[in-house]
Structure 1
Amino acid sequence: MAVTPLKILTLLPWPDWLALAGFFVAWIGYAVFARRRSVSSMSLLATTNHYRHLWMVQTTWRDVRVVDGVVLQNLSTSPSFFASTTILIIGGLLALLGTSERANALVQEIPFAARTSAAVFDFKLLVLTGVFVYAFFRFTWSLRQYTFGALMVAAAPDFRVFERGEASREEFADRAGRVLGLAAESFNDGLRAYYMSFAVIGWFFSPLVFAVGSAGVVYVLFQREFQSEVLAVLKS
């Protein structure tokens, strides 16, 4: 039997569609808001980008850049770890789709959990899987960008070349710092997806919990990126 758009729309009650739409509006809207607000009010990412630029400036003064390679390797371990973990999560969710009827029955045993059909439960699992698929792509892209940054540091001219004025310290620091900043931004996007996945988990209880969870996650993200104590220390 063919699946028509009308059947897809009638798959979920309208409160669920509203909660799902609010989830994506909150996620995408906050990402746009954070990027624009960081121009006037330094976010945690923008502040650390300043330190990345200073780091690359210091790199141009070093004769031996072993410490820079060690730091870059340590930074790349985080996206590598999360990418590997995300693959396991995606595999678990896909396996759960094969036993969705039993999983749905188990969820319905939880107090206050929504009573839904197996098709609706599968749809919610697919949305949750999609969130982690997005996170996987962002983590792996972050890992690749850290690799590009390591190549730039390894290919940097000797510090004597900078001293003779044959290469610009600021130009190198701007390019290399920007690449590392983009890697950090991709990693940050992946972490946001992890945070937002907790809101999707609330959807298995009710659309109200889903909506409140989406708003709560956005609030937590805002507090950490714009009003956290570590940000105040970094800006001081």
Structure 2
Amino acid sequence: MTDVVDLFDIQYLWNLLAVLWFLLCWVGYTRYASWKARDTACLASVLHLYREDWMRRLLLRDNRVADASVIGNLERNASFFASSTLIILAGILTLLGSADRTVSILADLPFVMQPSRGLSELKLISLAVVFVYAFFTFSWCMRQYNFAAVLVGSAPMIGERHVGELERKAFAERAARVVSMAAHQFNQGLRSYYFGLAMLAWFINPWLFMLVTSGVVVVLYQREFHSDVLKVMVFTSTPQTEAPKDEGLGNP
């Protein structure tokens, strides 16, 4: 009996440690990324600059059909993920109704730490919580893109002489900020998917769960702060230097 209790305590501690590490990685990386983005070029900060340019150029043309179409496409992306999240939640609830079969299937896999029914249900509930958060995040993203569409519709026209330059500049900054806020929510929802996929490793082994969670953080950091697409989009100033005197195809 003592051996059983000790085994239960060890499994409990391992799973508790894995969950704490999961939360630390998710919350910690989210806060770290927001803090680092204040003074470091990343996808979020660079794209915000592009959105400001977008809104300033929007004010220079009367035909805003293309701009409304872009916002509509962005909203549909969030709608797709919100719908997919509901399907995933339905699948998780189905697995909760057949927890015994889930335990028996997992027991046949290699390197799987034998879970109890209660622990398996707890893992499924935790996974459901992650995707519930993802659904609310994507749905709020959709609403913010709706707000951005309203702002585009209310943008002052070129011929409106009573609208000053300062007011146009303030509108461009405000509209770009709303679009960036919607994109931030979309990014949070995508992170939920990344960490939700990492949680699948928990059903095999808590140590594998912690390892995969750490790998997700590395992937997110690499993509947001050191990706090739960031290097292409980042604003770089080209110094005006004297042209080389030698002939050839060198850069001016």
| Normalised-by-shorter TM-score class | over 0.9
The structural deviation recorded for 1:45 is: 1.2
Q: What residue number does 2:139 align with? A: 140
Root-mean-square deviation (CA, aligned residues, Å) is: 1.7
Going from structure 1 to structure 2, the CA distance change for 1:208 and 1:164 (only over 3 Å counts) comes to closer
Alignment of 1:76-225 (within 5 A): 76-161=75-160, 165=164, 168-225=167-224
Task: Kindly provide the CA deviation profile for residues 28-47 of structure 1, in whole angstroms up to 9, marking residues without a partner as x.
Answer: 00000000000111211111
Q: Is residue 79–residue 142 contact of structure 1 (8 Å, CA) maintained in 2?
A: yes
The answer to whether the 8 A contact 2:130-2:192 is kept is: yes
d(CA) in 1 for partners of 2:192, 2:72: 24
Instruction: Considering fraction of residues, name the structure with more helix.
Output: 1
Checking the alignment, whether the CA contact within 8 Å between 1:162 and 1:169 is kept in structure 2 is: no
TM-score computed with the length of structure 2 as normaliser = 0.87
Larger deviation: 197-206 or 167-176? 167-176
Query: Could you tell me the percent identity over the aligned residues?
Result: 40
Deviations 1:9-57 (A, max 9, x none): 9695101101100100100000000000001112111111111111111
Instruction: Please give the alpha-carbon distance, in whole angstroms, between the structure 1 residues aligned to 2:11 and 2:177.
Output: 44
Residue 232 of structure 2 aligns with which residue?
233
Structure 2 residues without counterparts, runs of 5 or longer: 1-7, 236-252
Separation of aligned partners in 1, 2:50 and 2:11: 47
Deviation at 1:165, TM superposition (A): 2.1
Q: Are the counterparts in 2 of residues 161 and 167 from structure 1 also a CA contact under 8 Å?
A: no
Q: TM-score, normalised by structure 1?
A: 0.93
Q: Distance in 1 between matches of 2:138 and 2:11?
A: 32
1:33 and 2:37 matched: no
Q: Is the 8 A contact 1:199 1:210 kept in 2?
A: yes
Matched residues in 2 for 1:61 and 1:79: separation?
A: 28
Bigger Cα Rg: 2
Q: Which moved more, 1:62-71 or 1:222-231?
A: 62-71
Distance of 1:121 and 1:57 partners within structure 2: 53
Q: How far off is 1:159 after superposition?
A: 1.6
Distance in structure 2 (CA, Å) of the matches to 1:65 and 1:124: 48
